[in-house]
Amino acid sequence: MTIREEIEKMQAETLSPYATLSQNSLGRDREEAQCDIRPLFQRDRDRILHCKSFRRLKNKTQVFLAPMGDHYRTRMSHTLEVSQIARTIVKALRLNEDLTEAIALGHDLGHTPFGHAGERVLNELVDGGFRHNEQSVRIVERLEKDGEGLNLTKEVRDGILNHEMSLHPATPEGQVVRLSDKIAYVNADIDDSIRAEILHPEDIPKEIRRTLGNSANDRLNTLVHDIIIHSQDSPEIMMSDEVYQALMDLRKFMFQSVYTNPVAKSEEVKAKRMIAALFEFYMENYDKDQDLIPKKYITAYKVGDEKLDRVIADYISGMTDQYAVTKFNECFMPKAWEVDGY
């Protein structure tokens, strides 16, 4: 018996009957030989952790664009916080931690530079729209490893695709990530907003504080415990009506007070114009300079696999904030002349 088989046997004996076992996975689109050490979902987690798209998250905006400080969240730190919260919950519920972590680490791979501002611009410009959850799946299926993709299991891809509140993941592990995402970003964004002096703790409505608590630790403790208590011995991940409503009210409060706050979003207009300008420039000039866009994107378009607007969206959405600024300067800012002597 291999180490992997021993791990799978232990999981089958100790995890909840509702846990998603790797040995029962629906598998990958392309068949592969099994690893002798790692179960399927653990391999998926490792593939996401080591891919280029994951590394770029550290330089992508979460909420505050180009903040002056080292302690504001980036898309990477948000992703890690989602993973930590989700792992705490699934460990208590005896669900599959490897599957949960893989979904959590991969759920935001498709985010654009400058956060949701960049996503909204591409959604307006690309035929068929642009949604970061769908782009995350596109990355792991088609774009990573120079077009090979990561060949992840169907369960991981389902969790990544369906992490939005309006969607419903097929596995309980995916459902945990879906809620953990909201818990993580609401609490982190409150912390960053207080740091930026946009919010004060007492600005949060009293009814919400009465239900969830007055501090980040209190809120996290309340939300995590509520999910665990109401999801035990159930195939569905649930919250109590009172706590769920308080979370939704807190989310609504953040949209009104922070996510549309002119101070927090003062630079977004510039970022959106930058993304739109890059998109139009690439659409008009993609074939005039072979170094303008990486060859792999243009090849996908020219062989007929993809539409031009989609491959340009692939390229732009993969950029970090600073790389997008650099490319904008290259495309639109005059270059200084080199003068030899006098």
Question: Which tens digit of pLDDT belongs to each residue from 69-83?
Answer: 678 889 999 999 999
CA distances from 183 to 72, 79, 132, 174 (A): 17, 12, 19, 14
Q: What is the mean pLDDT of residues 302-326?
A: 93
Q: Is residue 61 classed as helix, strand or coil in its secondary structure? A: strand
Question: Nearest Cα to 203, choosing from 259, 253, 264?
Answer: 253
Mean pLDDT estimate for the chain: 93
Q: Any long-range contacts for 6-10 (C-beta under 8 Å, 24+ apart)?
A: 7/39, 8/39
Cα–Cα distance for residue pair 186/254, rounded to 1 Å: 7
Q: Quick one: how far is CA 59 from the chain centroid?
A: 13
Say whether pLDDT at 198 is over 70.
Answer: yes
> What percent of the chain has a predicted confidence (pLDDT) above 90?
81
**Bridge partners, residue 74, by sequence:** 61
* Predicted local distance difference test score (pLDDT) of residue 283: 96
Cα–Cα distance for residue pair 71/195, rounded to 1 Å: 9
* Predicted local distance difference test score (pLDDT) of residue 342: 53
Burial class (CB in 10 A: 0-12, 13-18, 19+), 34: middle
Quick count: other Cβ atoms within 10 Å of Cβ 19?
Answer: 22
The answer to whether residues 53 and 318 touch, using CB atoms and an 8 Å cutoff, is yes
* Predicted local distance difference test score (pLDDT) of residue 337: 61
Alpha helices in the chain (DSSP H): 3-14, 40-49, 52-56, 75-93, 97-106, 115-125, 132-138, 154-161, 172-195, 206-212, 216-231, 241-254, 268-285, 295-302, 308-317, 321-332
Cα–Cα distance for residue pair 314/130, rounded to 1 Å: 10
* Predicted local distance difference test score (pLDDT) of residue 67: 64
- Length of the chain equals 342
Q: Is residue 2 classed as helix, strand or coil in its secondary structure? A: coil
Model-wide pTM > 0.85: yes
Alpha helices in 139-212 (DSSP H): 154-161, 172-195, 206-212
Cα–Cα distance for residue pair 339/342, rounded to 1 Å: 7
